[in-house]
Amino acid sequence: MNMTISEKVAYLKGLAEGLNLDTEKSKEGKLISVMIGILEEVGLSIEDLEENAQALGEEIDVLSDDLADVESVVFEDEEEDEDEAEDYDDDWFEVECPTCEEPLIIDDKALADGFIQCPNCQSKFSLDLSDDTVEADEGEE
């Protein structure tokens, strides 16, 4: 059986009382009585510290759980942003109009159609993806 410090001090106090020590006249009795009193105070202080440590541990666990929730929300958003950025990079392309030389952003669908019409100068052109060059269709302006 594990006894707490306070229980051990109470046991020690009982033993001292069982010895019928004279705590009023005997120097040894007075000394033992004072020592037992100090041990009682130390025992109570230790129990308070243990209770506080346990309460702090529980608070730390709660804070840790809260922090984990916050991290999952924050890092989940970052992962979604990265996924969206990757999607954006895969679905959109920047090309330059061969007529007015303005940069254009086109998507996969416009690329698949074969011809692109510049919103700035209205010229139509196609992309030759085999050698990364842009060809203007001058007859279809």
Q: What integer is the mean pLDDT of 113-123?
A: 86
Contact partners, residue 98, CB within 8 Å, separation at least 6: 123, 125, 134, 135, 136
Token pair listed for 18:
């069982």
Q: Quote the CA–CA distance of 105 and 127 in Å, as a whole number.
A: 13
Residue 140 has pLDDT above 50, yes or no: no
Do residues 122 and 129 lie in contact, with contact meaning Cβ atoms separated by under 8 Å?
Answer: no
Token pair listed for 137:
């269709």
- Nearest CA to 42 out of 70, 5, 81, 92 is that of 5
Q: Could you read off the pLDDT of 62-116 as tens digits, one per residue?
A: 999 999 999 998 888 666 666 665 555 557 788 888 899 999 888 878 777 778 8
Of 134 and 60, which is predicted with more confidence?
60
pLDDT at 83: 60
Q: What integer is the mean pLDDT of 15-44?
A: 91
Residue 138 has pLDDT above 60, yes or no: no
